[in-house]
A and B are shown apart, each in its own frame.
Chain A
Amino acid sequence: MRIALALLALAATVAVAWLAVERRRLRRRLDAASAELQRLQTDFGRFAPSAVVDRIAAHSRPVEAERREVTVLFADLVGFTALGERLPPEELVALLNAYFGRMSRVLEDHRGHVAKFIGDGLMALFGAIEPNPWQANDAAHAALAMQRTLADYNRELAARGGPALRAGIGLHRGSAVAGILGSQALLEFTVIGGTVNLAARVERLTRTHDVAILVTDAVRSQLDPRFQLDPMPATPVHGVGEPVATWALRGFEEQRDQ
């Protein structure tokens, strides 16, 4: 009987010890998972806006697609294809990366974020992650600041004997579906819909009208009256029934009171 009790006590002790070891092992795995999650979050932050990363991390499920009011900014380098044929690849990539880096900072400073780079162009969004009632003003200020920054960059390039870059920027505002799109292998936070398509078309119109920045009526109606705008002739664009009225954005009168 004593031996049986002793064996029972031994078995219980072994079981408790095993459970303690197992518990510690599980804790270590949980801690490792937590550290891995943080590392992934940091890495993913390089590929997606940090607010999106935070939301994905906060919810254990993907961010749900939502219809939102957004302002879309398209910027494209004019005549870059010809430039690309002249420059060595490494010089071309360095030139583009420096340009994109500068533009991304300007956009972030104005509460926008780059949704994607498309060749020598980029698409930026305002109001896509958090609602932003001031998104049209932010986007217009960003567009002006991008042109100023590009002028500074051109001066640097000229000092090194580099080529001058010219960018066309188009802005449109409207409703769009925002969400995370793609496959398991490649995901991106972006917006889709007619608003995006029209913004891209408006950027192409900068060449037609030979201006640096164009905004649609939907943007203009929301802008601070201190922005200086010139009307452009309504122009047919692919995929839109009516000719599109646009406005050339020239500047902002800081001193004028409304």
Chain B
Amino acid sequence: MSALDSIEWEACLLEPVPSPETERRVRRALGMVPPGSRYFLDSAWFADALIALDIGHLQLQHLRADLSEMVALVVSQDGACRYCFSATRGVLGIMGFSEARIQRLEGDLLAGELPAGDRAALQFARRVSRSVPPVRAADAAPLREAGWSAAAIQELTALTAVNVFFNRTSTLAALPYESIERFFARPTMRLLRPLLRRFIGPRRVSQPMPLSPAERQGAFAEQINAFDGVPLAKRLRAAIDACWCGSSLGPRTTALVFAVVARGIGCPLSEREATRLLRADGFPATEVEPALAHLASPSLDARQRAAATLARDSIWPQPAPLQRQARAVRAQFTRTEFIDLIGTAALANALCRLGVGVELARPHA
């Protein structure tokens, strides 16, 4: 029995639609088409974001592969995402974790088996994922005491945010977790475990990867630039740019979703940037505050109001009610728009949890 067995989960909201060209692109980039991504491939920007942030192909400078998967497990547990939780359990199994050890990790009972730094990392990842109250630089003190460098803490923060992105994507679409459990339970997967172990999980890089001048520009630049040098910053930049340039929802709805999530989490920096982007799209300045205070405004149509409400409920989701709400909202959008809404809300949830990184990047932090 796993920790999330009692969590209610709706039937999947999307059917996978063949998209040969995008599938080829994903296969070229990742070597395979991850099962969960097949549901979203008819949105080109979202496919790009899934490629950029694919957990199995991330580059990490400081975190070990097994620790990054443990982070993925506790974050998906915190977000009650049964799909990501099942996927991460499968990966941990390939990495050699026994079922009993995974269960102890779920129950936070690994204390005696983990070094202090790993324990602090898992606690910090839970804090960033939950963000209640918003995470402050002081929350990273146990990591510093355990010997973590500033860059390693930034990497952990960014990795947690990436996991939040996948949690919200899977939860909003109610991806069928049973399929991923069957995938990892296949006899071939069991047989190939020793071989797969060598290839699975993020790759280690030895050097920081600074952002290029072009990557230091764009929406939410301040948040992303705070992670300059962390390899994940490049991936997050690419995902945000893909969303801003490619989403069928348009800049107003996209900015609105980010602003609502920022307001809900309590990230003033993200809210400031999102509302700036709203105004840049011609949203009346006097309407911004009423729109965020009540999720309604004469300048918002019914679809934008529905998007705002769904975004707000994605912050600390209760999966089944959120999925029922998403199903009700879906009728107002085309398939591609609905996928874009899921991706935008997921990305907003990730980005608005990076606020602590900006604080940590300041010299006095």
Contacts and interface: CB of A to CB of B under 8 A. Distances in A.
Q: Are A and B bound to each other? A: yes
Nearest to A111: B313
B298 A258 contact: yes
B108 interface: yes
A134 B1 contact: no
B316 A51 contact: yes
Contacts, number: 67
Interface stretch (A14-22, A34-42, A179-187): A34-42
Given A38-B3, A58-B126, A133-B264, A31 B316 contact: no
A258 B295 CA distance: 11
Contacts of A130: 132, 315-316
A131 interface: yes
B106 to A, nearest CB: 8
Contact of A38 (B1, B264, B313): B1
A11 B323 CA distance: 61
Nearest to B100: A31
Interface in A214-237: 222, 224-226
Contacts of A33: 107, 109
Interface string A243-258: 0000000000000011
Contacts of B294: 134, 137, 224-226, 258
Contacts of A222: 293
* B interface bracket (residues with beta carbon within 8 Å of A): 20 to 34
Given A131-B132, A133-B263, A34 B78 contact: no
Report which residue of A130, A132, A137 has the largest number of chain B beta carbons within 10 angstroms of its beta carbon. Answer: A130
A57 interface: yes
A33 B109 CA distance: 9
A30 interface: yes
B334 interface: no
Nearest to A60: B108
Interface string A189-203: 000000000000000
A134 B126 CA distance: 24
Contacts of A131: 132-133, 264, 266
Given A51-B316, A133-B264, A226 B296 contact: yes
B290 A27 contact: no
B361 to A, nearest CB: 24
Interface string A149-183: 00000000000000000000000000000000000
A27 B296 CA distance: 54
B1 A42 contact: no
Interface of B: 1, 3, 6, 78, 100, 103-104, 106-109, 126, 130, 132-133, 263-264, 266, 290, 292-298, 312-313, 315-316, 318, 321
Given A133-B263, A222-B293, A257-B297, 14 more contacts: A34-B103, A34-B104, A34-B109, A38-B1, A38-B107, A42-B6, A50-B318, A58-B78, A58-B126, A131-B133, A133-B292, A224-B293, A224-B296, A226-B294
Interface of A: 27, 30-31, 33-35, 37-38, 42, 50-51, 54, 57-58, 60, 66, 108-109, 111, 130-134, 137, 222, 224-226, 257-258
9 contacts: A34-B104, A50-B318, A51-B316, A60-B108, A109-B321, A130-B132, A131-B133, A133-B264, A134-B295
Top 8 closest A-B pairs, CB basis?
A224-B294, A34-B107, A257-B298, A130-B316, A34-B103, A130-B132, A37-B107, A258-B298
